[in-house]
Amino acid sequence: MDQKQRLDYLVEKFKEDSGEYRNLKVSDSETEKRRILRSLMNIRMPRHMDEQVLKVQDEFLKEDAREKGIVTLDQIPTVKEAYNSSAPFAEKISVWQGDITRLQVGAIVNAANSQMLGCFVPCHRCIDNAIHSAAGVELRAECNHQMNQKRIRYGRSYEEPTGQAMLTSGYNLPAEHVIHTVGPIVYYEVTDKLRQDLKNCYESVLNCCMENNIRSVAFCCISTGEFHFPNKEAAEIAVSTTEVFLEKHGEAFDRVIFNVFKDMDLEYYKRQF
């Protein structure tokens, strides 16, 4: 199959799988088909999927990743190289602007919600949706399995606490792993408790990397989107927490990347170095 044939096949199979949208009419537009496929993936609850469908999905997503352009570690300058920075560990830290799902690193960080199952809003612009959409439905299935194990241990109402880290495979992402963390939500004002919660997210992810011998990790801007943590202060916490951690464990890492999408965040991180 080529990509067009895979897309047609997957749209039909995911429509059948959905039940409710089995008879959905889809135009011949590739853009429309891709939107429908992603939407059906986004709303799909974790359950069994035919192995042949998963095989075609994996081929489709891996080819999509190649077409988008996989970015390797040697293509990302350190802040020492990019900004002539003399900041601590400038040779181990990078700031990179772009789509985090393109990065071929040990792990990328997902800013998750407490359900830990990804975003169910079709084609939502959050990073949780983007990562699950690029990884494939196997990622939600693994997250669900891990959460079910925790519910057995802690009770049926268990939700992932803020500031912890959960490791999964990266599936069809160029990254080997995804590390999911629930950031703090700012409702009114930033408190010391919220600052500590955000610091805990960064520390938990870095500890998770060490425990699993993951030597390169790309952080997203945790809590700054849907969770409303002020971008400038979030960048300051991210950098300071990472530098303190590397003072103790720098030998365990080849690279820590701060991935940004917005120009505003790029400027805030650049100021740190």
Per-residue pLDDT of the chain (273 residues; tens, 9 = 90+): 999 999 999 999 999 999 899 999 999 999 999 999 999 999 999 999 999 999 999 999 999 999 999 999 999 999 999 999 998 899 999 999 999 999 999 999 999 999 999 999 999 999 999 999 999 999 999 999 999 999 999 998 999 999 999 999 999 999 999 999 999 999 989 999 999 999 999 999 999 999 999 999 999 999 998 888 999 999 999 999 999 999 999 999 999 999 999 999 999 999 999
Domain co-membership, 31 together with 152: no
Among the three residues 49, 66, 83, which one is the final residue of a domain in this structure? 66
Domain co-membership, 51 together with 103: no
Domain co-membership, 105 together with 161: yes
Beta-carbon count within 10 A of 209 CB: 25
Contacts for 265-268: CB closer than 8 Å, 24+ residues apart: 265/221, 265/224, 265/231, 265/235, 266/95, 266/97, 268/231, 268/232, 268/235, 268/236
Dihedral class, residue 75 (left if φ above 0, else alpha if ψ from -120 to 50, else beta): alpha
Q: Residue 68: what pLDDT?
A: 96
Domain co-membership, 115 together with 222: yes
**Best CA proximity match to 16, nearest among 46, 42, 64, 50:** 50
Pair 6, 56: CB distance under 8 Å? yes
Among the three residues 29, 49, 66, which one is the final residue of a domain in this structure? 66
Domain co-membership, 29 together with 76: no
Rounded to the nearest 5°, which phi and psi values hold at 140? -65, -40
Q: Residue 226: what pLDDT?
A: 80
One DSSP character per residue, 129-155 reads HHHHHHH-HHHHHHHHHHHHHHHHHH-
Among the three residues 11, 33, 66, which one is the final residue of a domain in this structure? 66
Domain co-membership, 148 together with 231: yes
Domain co-membership, 87 together with 59: no
Domain co-membership, 52 together with 124: no
CATH code for the domain of 74: 3.40.220.10
Domain co-membership, 97 together with 213: yes
What 3-state class would DSSP assign to 74? helix
Please tell me the distance from the alpha carbon of residue 79 to that of residue 50, in angstroms, as a whole number: 45
Residues facing 258 on adjacent strands:
95, 219
Pair 33, 7: CB distance under 8 Å? yes
Pair 209, 172: CB distance under 8 Å? no
Domain co-membership, 55 together with 76: no
What 3-state class would DSSP assign to 19? coil
Q: Residue type for 155, please?
A: G
Domain co-membership, 81 together with 36: no
Domain co-membership, 53 together with 158: no
Beta strand extents in the chain (DSSP E only) = 71-72, 93-97, 103-104, 107-112, 166-169, 177-182, 216-219, 255-260
Q: Residue 134: what pLDDT?
A: 98
The predicted model scores a pTM of 0.96
Domain coverage including residue 16: 3-66
State how many domains the chain has. 2
